[in-house]
């Protein structure tokens, strides 16, 4: 079973560029995209559009903070408060470098916080490093052939 | 007997009889006129005795005439006639003459008048002496030419601090005691004295012989002897009058000050209240009336609690309280409504005891403004966040897709096309840097200042390492002085050094042996840190623009930059209450100095 990256991203350009960056660095993994916080929760908890579907939990979730409907931080809060997802590795991937965002993300249980750089070359390096760490080096309880 | 002889006899007898009768009457009258004459009885006896002789002469007419009787009658007439005439004349004199009593009475009266005059004179003299000795007036006799004081009363001696011994030893001279500026008028007075015998009164000063203080006096003089050299001078002490005048002047000045004080009080923008230690209002200004809605008369004499109901304790707060010191109070208007006030209190020590002066300001408008400001700040924060997050997103797109295009299709483009793509990427990066710098600047102003003991030397080394890592190809010599400490915000301290060392790094790019130094020295008695480089430097003529946002002294073609870094540094230092300044020379490097309160160098400073 391949490892899945769940990308929660509302901006189309960012989505395309992020996928490209991951594809360039690691072709083996699948990047699933959900476009707002509500959809992310539906996916993770198999509700709404994903009700009854047979989707598997991602190896890592890349979470933007500034999202329509349900904000990234709310998604994080729900993920951490649910038994099924409380150990899911969550990397906050956002444009903000505000101290408040960083602090709140970590206090809600984020595993990492990465700021998206403007320079795409830099971003590709970041994506490569992220993929290398979370998909190859890091061991997770959910990664071992979870549902 | 001849007839002629008979006639001679008749005439002489008649004349003799008349003369004797006259003598008798005259004697009698004289005795009556002067009853206290000696031998008065004798005079009367002679008068009576002469009467019969007068009749006897008349009887002679009827006697027979003989030559002898005729001769006797003629002799008697010749003797008695002049005697009668003399007596009549004497009697006239005696009747007009004063009596001895009258004369002695007159003498007595004259004596009495003389005695009264003498007594009066003695009284006057005594009065004068008393006047002289009583100390009201100083009196001196002086030699006009030499100025020596020949005689003086105690009053004068006391006035100028001289002793009688000194006077007797001829040591007192009014010229010697007269201040230079008074010599002219004094000499004029002497001239007037010589010409007119008297001087007009004039004011002058004497130098006290004891402590040299000036004694203000009124003097006037008169020549004692018109031909001589001596003058009598009276000296009236004006010290008391001068003191009174000074006191009056001071009082007038005080009144003027009081008037100004009142004007100031009235024109004050705050409600000003002066109360006594017990909090009873003594003085309020117009603003107080306006603010609280009371008339002045309704407030004076009442307690401050009327206006400031929730004020704790009494009004006799001895300490000074500054406006805005955080004391939250509410004022109560006459209509009962309350409003937020801020007050300052300062004690006034006066002759009438401790007064408390307070200024009360209605801060309801400011409370509203503060709320608006808070809202505005929140909005600004939201805007900053939006800039941070949302403005960067499209930039990532621009940069990212330009890169994708260059990577995927670069080969199909000509050189110019590829250059355009490169420019798009560079521009987006530049804008990203600008946004980051602006956010950093905003963060400096917005964030809470957290002061800690920071080892600036360690921060400088850490920053220099980061710079070296970003551009490992460059060889720059970093010299960081050890143990430089400051009480500063850790984040802002790092931002400050990142900017200053980053600039030094950037502008030493073309230096042959680039060298960057971080140290501290003493500047105007305070510790000042510095970042020195041997880079391109700048023209000091433009130093005024250094710390202004978006002002750059180099084009971005020469050196990339945002024009915000030094503005950020300025704001960081400013927030700490320090100062930042620079010295530079074109092609000779630049030195940026900054001071932070409570900073020090553990190993001593250069000066």
CB atoms within 10 A of CB B262: 12
- Mean pLDDT, residues B545-569 taken together: 84
Question: B428 contacts in A (CB within 8 Å)?
Answer: 118
* The pLDDT value given to residue B591: 94
Contact B393 A14 (CB under 8 A): yes
pLDDT at A88 over 90: yes
Of B223-232, B424-433, B495-504, the one with minimum mean pLDDT is: B223-232
- Interface-testing mutation among B381, B393, B492, with chain A (most A C-beta atoms within 10 A): B393
* The pLDDT value given to residue B522: 86
* The pLDDT value given to residue B96: 66
Q: Which residue has the higher pLDDT, B604 or B172?
A: B172
Query: In whole angstroms, what separates CA B52 from the centre of its chain?
Result: 114
Q: How far apart are CA B482 and CA B604, in angstroms?
A: 10
Q: How far apart are CA B291 and CA B333, in angstroms?
A: 7
User: Distance, in angstroms, between B378 CA and closest chain A CA?
Assistant: 14
Residue B217 phi, psi (nearest 5):
-140, 160
Q: Which one of B396, B428, B439 has the shortest CB-CB distance to A13?
A: B396
User: Distance, in angstroms, between B382 CA and closest chain A CA?
Assistant: 11
- Mean pLDDT, residues B548-553 taken together: 81
Question: B431 contacts in A (CB within 8 Å)?
Answer: 118
* The pLDDT value given to residue B604: 54
pLDDT at A142 over 60: no
Q: Which one of A14, A95, A118 has the shortest CB-CB distance to B429?
A: A118
- Interface-testing mutation among A120, A122, A124, A126, with chain B (most B C-beta atoms within 10 A): A120
Q: Which residue has the higher pLDDT, B515 or B117?
A: B515
* The pLDDT value given to residue B499: 93
Contact B390 A96 (CB under 8 A): no
CA distances B518 to B103, B403, B460, B490, Å, are 131, 39, 7, 17
Side-chain-facing half-sphere of B96: CA atoms under 13 Å: 5
Question: B439 contacts in A (CB within 8 Å)?
Answer: 97
User: Distance, in angstroms, between A41 CA and closest chain B CA?
Assistant: 23
Contact A95, A74 (CB under 8 A): no
Alpha helices by DSSP H, listed for B221-363, are 239-267, 286-292, 296-299
Contact A14 B397 (CB under 8 A): yes
- Interface-testing mutation among B396, B435, B437, with chain A (most A C-beta atoms within 10 A): B396
Q: Which residue has the higher pLDDT, B319 or B94?
A: B94
- Sign of the CA dihedral B376, B377, B382, B384? positive
Query: In whole angstroms, what separates CA B373 from the centre of its chain?
Result: 48
Which pLDDT band holds residue A67 (cuts at 50, 70, 90)?
confident
Contact B389 A17 (CB under 8 A): no
pLDDT tens for each residue of B231-271:
888 888 888 888 898 899 989 888 888 888 888 888 888 88
DSSP of B509-563: TT-SS-EEEEEEEEETTEEEEEEEE-S----GGGGGGTTSTT--SS-TTTS---S
Continuous segment of H or E residues that includes residue B456: helix B456-470
Question: B382 contacts in A (CB within 8 Å)?
Answer: none
Query: In whole angstroms, what separates CA B39 from the centre of its chain?
Result: 97
Contact B293, B333 (CB under 8 A): yes
Continuous segment of H or E residues that includes residue B488: strand B484-488
Instruction: Tell whether B401 lies on the interface with A, counting CB pairs under 8 A.
Output: yes
Average per-residue pLDDT for chain B: 85
3-state secondary structure B3-56: HHHHHHHHHHHHHHHHHHHHHHHHHHHHHHHCCCCCCHHHHHHHHHHHHHHHHH
- Mean pLDDT, residues B434-447 taken together: 81
Q: What is the ipTM of this complex?
A: 0.84
Residues in A whose CB is inside 8 Å of some CB of B read 11, 13-14, 17, 20, 65-66, 94-99, 116-121, 123
Which pLDDT band holds residue B144 (cuts at 50, 70, 90)?
confident
Contact A13 B400 (CB under 8 A): yes
User: Distance, in angstroms, between A140 CA and closest chain B CA?
Assistant: 30
Instruction: Name the residue in chain B with its Cα closest to that of A24.
Output: B404
Question: A113 contacts in B (CB within 8 Å)?
Answer: none
Length of chain B, in residues: 607
User: Distance, in angstroms, between A87 CA and closest chain B CA?
Assistant: 28
pLDDT at B129 over 70: no
The DSSP output letter for B146 is: T
- Mean pLDDT, residues B154-159 taken together: 86
pTM: 0.50
Contact A96 B399 (CB under 8 A): no
- Mean pLDDT, residues A90-109 taken together: 90
Question: B393 contacts in A (CB within 8 Å)?
Answer: 11, 13-14, 95
Q: Which residue has the higher pLDDT, B443 or A5?
A: A5
Q: How far apart are CA A56 and CA B456, in angstroms?
A: 51
pLDDT tens for each residue of B40-99:
888 888 888 888 888 888 888 787 888 888 888 888 888 888 888 888 887 777 666 666
Q: Which one of A65, A118, A120 has the shortest CB-CB distance to B392?
A: A118
E strands, A17-108, in order: 30-34, 60-63, 90-94
Q: Which residue has the higher pLDDT, A61 or B46?
A: A61
Burial grade of A69 (CB within 10 A; 0-12, 13-18, 19 or more): middle
Contact A116 B429 (CB under 8 A): no
* The pLDDT value given to residue B314: 45
Contact A20 B432 (CB under 8 A): no
The DSSP output letter for B304 is: G
- Mean pLDDT, residues B225-232 taken together: 77
* The pLDDT value given to residue B87: 82
* The pLDDT value given to residue B382: 78
Instruction: Tell whether B387 lies on the interface with A, counting CB pairs under 8 A.
Output: no
Question: A105 contacts in B (CB within 8 Å)?
Answer: none
Of A48-52, A143-147, B88-92, the one with minimum mean pLDDT is: A143-147
* The pLDDT value given to residue B103: 76
Instruction: Tell whether B428 lies on the interface with A, counting CB pairs under 8 A.
Output: yes
Instruction: Tell whether B495 lies on the interface with A, counting CB pairs under 8 A.
Output: no
């Amino acid at each position: 079973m391949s490892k899945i990256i769940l990308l929660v991203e509302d901006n189309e350009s960012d989505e395309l560029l992020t996928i490209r960056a991951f594809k360039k660095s690691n072709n083996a993994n699948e990047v699933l995209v959900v476009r707002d916080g509500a959809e992310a929760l539906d996916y993770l908890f198999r509700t709404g559009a994903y009700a009854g579907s047979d989707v598997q939990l991602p190896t890592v979730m890349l979470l933007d903070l500034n999202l329509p409907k349900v904000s990234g931080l709310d998604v994080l809060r729900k993920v951490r408060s649910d038994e099924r997802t409380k150990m899911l590795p969550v990397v906050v991937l956002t444009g903000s470098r505000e101290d408040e965002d960083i602090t709140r993300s970590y206090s809600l249980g984020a595993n990492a916080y990465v700021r998206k750089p403007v320079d795409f070359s830099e971003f590709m390096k970041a994506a490569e490093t992220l993929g290398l760490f979370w998909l190859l080096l890091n061991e997770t309880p959910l990664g071992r052939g979870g549902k | 007997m001849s007839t002629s002889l008979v006639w001679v006899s008749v005439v002489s007898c008649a004349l003799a009889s008349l003369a004797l009768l006259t003598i008798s009457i005259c004697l009698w009258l004289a005795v009556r006129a002067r009853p206290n004459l000696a031998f008065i009885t004798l005079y009367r006896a002679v008068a009576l005795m002469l009467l019969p002789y007068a009749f006897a002469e008349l009887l002679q007419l009827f006697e027979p005439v003989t030559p002898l009787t005729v001769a006797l009658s003629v002799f008697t007439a010749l003797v008695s006639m002049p005697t009668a005439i003399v007596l009549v004349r004497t009697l006239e004199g005696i009747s007009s003459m004063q009596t001895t009593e009258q004369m002695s009475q007159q003498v007595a009266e004259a004596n009495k008048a003389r005695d009264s005059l003498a007594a009066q004179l003695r009284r006057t003299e005594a009065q004068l002496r008393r006047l002289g000795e009583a100390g009201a007036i100083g009196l001196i006799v002086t030699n006009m030419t030499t100025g020596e004081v020949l005689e003086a009363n105690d009053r004068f001696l006391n006035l100028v601090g001289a002793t009688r011994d000194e006077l007797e030893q001829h040591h007192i001279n009014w010229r010697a005691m007269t201040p230079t500026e008074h010599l002219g008028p004094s000499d004029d007075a002497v001239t007037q004295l010589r010409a007119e015998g008297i001087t007009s009164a004039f004011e002058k000063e004497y130098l006290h012989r004891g402590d040299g203080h000036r004694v203000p006096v009124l003097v006037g003089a008169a020549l004692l002897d018109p031909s001589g050299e001596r003058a009598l001078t009276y000296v009236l002490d004006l010290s008391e009058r001068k003191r009174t005048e000074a006191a009056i002047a001071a009082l007038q000045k005080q009144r003027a000050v009081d008037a100004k004080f009142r004007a100031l009080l009235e024109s004050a923008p705050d409600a000003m209240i002066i109360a006594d230690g017990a909090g009873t209002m003594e003085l309020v200004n117009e603003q107080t009336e306006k603010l609280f809605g009371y008339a002045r008369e309704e407030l004076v004499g009442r307690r401050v609690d009327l206006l400031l109901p929730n004020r704790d304790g009494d009004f006799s707060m001895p300490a000074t309280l500054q406006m805005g010191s955080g004391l939250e109070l509410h004022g109560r208007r006459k209509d009962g409504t309350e409003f937020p006030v801020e007050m300052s209190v300062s004690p006034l020590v006066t002759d009438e005891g401790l007064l408390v002066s307070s200024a009360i300001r209605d801060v309801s408008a400011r409370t509203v403004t503060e709320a608006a400001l808070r809202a505005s700040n929140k909005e600004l924060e939201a805007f900053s966040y939006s800039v941070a997050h949302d403005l960067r997103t499209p930039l990532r797109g621009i940069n990212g897709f330009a890169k994708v295009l260059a990577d995927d299709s670069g080969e199909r483009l000509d050189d110019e096309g590829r250059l355009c793509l490169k420019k798009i990427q560079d521009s987006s990066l530049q804008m990203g840097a600008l946004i980051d710098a602006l956010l950093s600047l905003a963060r400096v102003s917005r964030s809470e200042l957290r002061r800690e003991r920071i080892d600036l030397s360690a921060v400088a080394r850490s920053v220099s390492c980061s710079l070296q890592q970003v551009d490992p190809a460059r060889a720059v010599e970093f010299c960081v002085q050890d143990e430089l400490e400051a009480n500063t915000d850790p984040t802002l301290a790092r931002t400050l050094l990142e900017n200053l060392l980053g600039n030094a790094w950037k502008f030493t790019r073309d230096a042959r042996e680039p060298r960057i130094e971080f140290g501290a020295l003493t500047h105007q008695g305070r510790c000042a840190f510095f970042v020195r480089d041997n880079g391109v430097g700048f023209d000091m003529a433009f130093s005024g623009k250094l710390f202004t946002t978006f002002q750059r002294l180099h084009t971005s073609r020469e050196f990339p930059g945002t024009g915000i870094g030094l503005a950020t540094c300025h704001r960081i230092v400013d927030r700490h209450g320090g100062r930042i300044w620079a010295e530079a020379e074109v092609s000779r490097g630049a030195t940026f100095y900054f001071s932070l309160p409570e900073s020090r160098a553990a190993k001593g400073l250069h000066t």
